Every structure is written in C-alpha cells, then in structure tokens.
Amino acid sequence: MLQVAVEAALDAGKYLKMNVGKIRHIERKGGQETNLVTEIDKKSEQMIINKIKQHFPHHDFLCEESGPAEVKSEYRWIIDPLDGTVNYTHGLPIYCVSIGLEYKGDIILGAVYDPSREELFTAEKGKGAWLNKKRLEVTKTTTLIESLVVTGFAYDVNERPEPSVTHFRNFLAESQAVRRLGSAALDLCYVAAGRFEGFWEGVIHPWDMAAGVLIVTEAGGKWTDFRGYPSTVYKEDILATNGLIHDQMVAVLKKAWK
C-alpha cells in the first residue's frame, strides 16, 4: 500500500510541477477570498484516486476537493492533492501532495511529495520515517528559546484574528524565530526532518495532517492538541514537536486563553 501511495504522490507531484504558471481557472471555496482551488488541484486529486482505485477499489476516501467517498471499508485514504494552493498560484515553490492511509481509525502510512525539491517523505507505522532514502529523526533541542517553530493561519484569520495573532506574538517572544510557509503537510515533514522543532495550527483539516503526523511520530516526535492531550486528525488544532519542547509550547499556547 505504501508503494501505491508513493507512485500516486510522485505522479501527481510531477503533474503539479509541469503545470506551474498554467492555471486557467481559480475558484474561491466557502465564500473566502483566500481559500483557493484550481483545475490543477482537481485533476491532481482525480489522478491519485484513480491510481489507488486500480489496486484497492473497495477502500474509502476522504479528499480535500471531492470530500468523502465511503463504501464502509476499514481503510480510508486521506488525500490533499495540492497542499499550498495559494503558494502554487503565485509560483512560490512551497507546495506538495499529501496521502495518508487510515485503518480502523489509526493512520498507518503516509507519503508527502514536494516536487520542487524532489523530496519524498514517507512513513509506515512502526517502521520509521524517511526522506528519500535517508532515515528521519527529530532534533534534540530541549529549549524553546533555541527552537525554530512554524505555524499556519486559518483562511478566516482576517475576520477572527484572535487567538492566532496572540499565539504568533507569544511565540515570537519565546522562541528563536517563527516561520509561516503555507503548507501544513510540509511543516510537519520539516519537524520530522529536524528543520523545525515545532509546529502549531489552530484550524486544520484531516487531509492537511494525516500523512504528516505519522511522519513526525515515526521520526521520534510527538503530536497532540493545543492542551497537550492525545488527538486525532479530525480535531481542528494541532501541536507537533520534537517531543522535548512540547510542554513548553503547550504553556505558550495556554497564555492566549488566560
């Protein structure tokens, strides 16, 4: 199943890269000016679905653009065909394909492909996480002030700036630096790869994180909700870290609620 996920991610990623700058139609989702979808997203998603269905025709799907497709299987593929659509529409090469597989409510494999850098992040439960052929491991940084952290904002942040802006300001003061890349799946993979120590986001969807959270944990990291409690990919907030600064980040997040 991982091989199928990898093949689907590579094919879709190559399609995305070939079509940079060739978008013909942009739609706004949910009435939000910044929540974009293009014909490229939709085509990429269909390519992935078709590939998986060739091998596993009786599996369920949960996809960003087409939504759920359920046949009551114990397996569910959770797919983001283009994570970082706003970046993509501007020609900013920070985007990826994300494919996770859930079995009986547990994420068992993930593949995230960044075609701009030809970086393929993969993980199987209990078998470690990998970047191409290199084993991934989170950093051993133990203090937040020495940590580089990353976040994402909800599409309606302009209408509801709090507590997102408060969290951002608090982490600016207590970490080494804060980044905002525009692709949650890559943010998670970068925690796994040791490029970031931590990632938080307040409004996130299953397809944004299904593959990434497994990659983080298989690289030795930890993910929870904002309060530090065990979570699922169906909960909106996420905190993922190298594990060593996790409690420190929870403490900073709690400041916005006091």
Lowest mean pLDDT among 162-166, 200-204, 245-249: 162-166
Measured in degrees and rounded to the nearest 5, phi and psi for residue 175 equal -110, 175
Mean pLDDT of 205-210: 96
Q: 3.40.50.450, 3.40.50.2300, 3.40.50.300, 3.30.540.10: which CATH number matches 2-135?
A: 3.30.540.10
Say which residue, 34 or 142, is predicted with more confidence: 142
**pLDDT value, residue 154:** 76
Measured in degrees and rounded to the nearest 5, phi and psi for residue 56 equal -135, 70
- Provide the CATH topology of domain 144-255: D-Maltodextrin-Binding Protein; domain 2 (3.40.190)
The band of 78, judged by pLDDT with boundaries at 50, 70 and 90, is very high
Look at residue 155 and tell me whether its pLDDT is greater than 70: no
Both tokens assigned to 87: 């970046």
Domain boundaries, the chain: 2-135, 144-255
The band of 33, judged by pLDDT with boundaries at 50, 70 and 90, is very low
Look at residue 219 and tell me whether its pLDDT is greater than 80: yes
**pLDDT value, residue 157:** 62
**pLDDT value, residue 61:** 95
Say if 2-135 and 144-255 have the same CATH topology: no
pTM of the model: 0.93
Look at residue 149 and tell me whether its pLDDT is greater than 60: yes
Say which residue, 215 or 159, is predicted with more confidence: 215
Lowest mean pLDDT among 30-34, 70-74, 132-136, 198-202: 30-34
Q: Percent of the chain having pLDDT more than 70?
A: 91
Burial 24-59 (b: 16+ CB within 10 A, else e): eeeeeeeeeeeebbbebbbbbbebbbebbeeebeeb
Lowest mean pLDDT among 31-35, 86-90, 94-98, 200-204: 31-35
Q: Percent of the chain having pLDDT more than 90?
A: 79
Mean pLDDT of 65-87: 88
Number of Cβ atoms within 10 Å of the Cβ of 228? 16
Look at residue 34 and tell me whether its pLDDT is greater than 70: no
**pLDDT value, residue 36:** 58
**pLDDT value, residue 39:** 80
Mean pLDDT of 141-157: 90
Mean pLDDT of 201-207: 94
